[in-house]
Structure 1
Amino acid sequence: MRRGLAGPAVGLLLGTPVVTAWLVGDLTGGAARRLAAEGEPLDYAVKPVSLGAVGDRVLVVVAGVLLVVSLVLLIRATATRTLDPRWWSVLVPLVLAGVVLGLAWRIVTAGAIGANIGAGLVVLGGGPVLLILLAVAAVQAFRLRR
């Protein structure tokens, strides 16, 4: 991959989990929301991070623009043969890993009453999937760099 395309690749990889988490939305269940409205504190595997309503919106807009612009630049570079199409075999597993991270973030930050079983399942199931995707990308990148 050429040096000038590293920026769009990084932009694509940084924007993917943020946009995915936004698209998935808060996964706190309806019963937990009702109990929280009555004053019952929710339990979290990981406390959700927020920059406030405006800050969250700005972050998602910036990540979305970064994602779209990066994707357009990489597709254009592929069409003009500036980017070897074989590099998509590295980028696609990394983008899928970003989707897994965004989804996992929403699951582990969902409010619950008691244990968040989904968080445990994400670690047990999502962890190996994430490792496989990263390993595939690393092996492909190593092969293409040779």
Structure 2
Amino acid sequence: MLSAGAALVLGVPVAAWGLMGQQNYDGLPASELDYAYQPWDIGDGVAAGVGGLALVLAGVGAAVLVRGARRGAMDRRWWGVLGPLVVVGLMAGVGWRILTAGGVGANIGAGLLIIFGTPVAAGLVLWALGRGVWLATRRHGDDGGSGGRRLSGFASGGV
């Protein structure tokens, strides 16, 4: 289950980055464009191939996780950790293409991404980290039975 989760979480940003392609302004050669960050020197064909492979890997990882959750091999509460990490990965893959887009003048999308995307991504990562630690420190069958009350499906830990 751990390798399937890693395949899903790591495959999504690579798939988004590779399949989205370079987002340069049309009409000017790349040498005359302005960049917030210089893009990697990787051809669009290679990036699309890597993105397609990453998409397949992420899809297989997701299928294994769904099957494991249905069969009871994975606690379904871990989707609360994986979901935000997948969203952050998607934001990172698309965000890198926005940050490296060539344009004429200022890259307004890069500024907006940094201003608004960074706090959203940080919040999602912190949520996933907190939820993951919470799940890892609780026993599998513990639903608040260790002296705590049950609050909306979450063990209160004695509160």
TM-score (structure 1 length as normaliser): 0.85
Distance 1:21 1:48, change over 3 A: same
Distance 1:75 1:92, change over 3 A: same
More strand by share: 2
More helix by share: 1
* Deviation at residue 66 of structure 1 after TM alignment: 0.7
Q: Which runs of 5+ in 2 are unaligned?
A: 138-159
Q: Which residue of 2 aligns with 1:104?
A: 95
Q: Does 1:71 align with 2:62?
A: yes
Distance 1:108 1:53, change over 3 A: closer
Q: After TM superposition, list the pairs within 5 Å mapping 1:1-146 onto structure 2.
A: 5-28=1-24, 32-36=25-29, 41-146=32-137
RMSD: 1.7
Q: Which has the larger radius of gyration?
A: 2
Distance in 2 between residues matched to 1:131 and 1:51, nearest whole Å:
28
TM-score (structure 2 length as normaliser): 0.79
Distance in 2 between residues matched to 1:10 and 1:50, nearest whole Å:
26
Conserved 8 A contact 2:38-2:100: yes
Distance in 1 between residues matched to 2:95 and 2:117, nearest whole Å:
7
* Deviation at residue 61 of structure 1 after TM alignment: 2.3
Percentage of matched positions with identical amino acids: 38
Conserved 8 A contact 1:21-1:103: yes
Structure showing greater relative contact order (alpha-carbon pairs closer than 8 Å, 6 or more residues apart) = 1
Conserved 8 A contact 1:50-1:56: no
* Deviation at residue 56 of structure 1 after TM alignment: 1.9
Letter in 1 for 2:132: A
Residues 52-108 of structure 1: per-residue CA shift (max 9 Å, x gap): 344323311220111111001000100110000000000000001011111211110
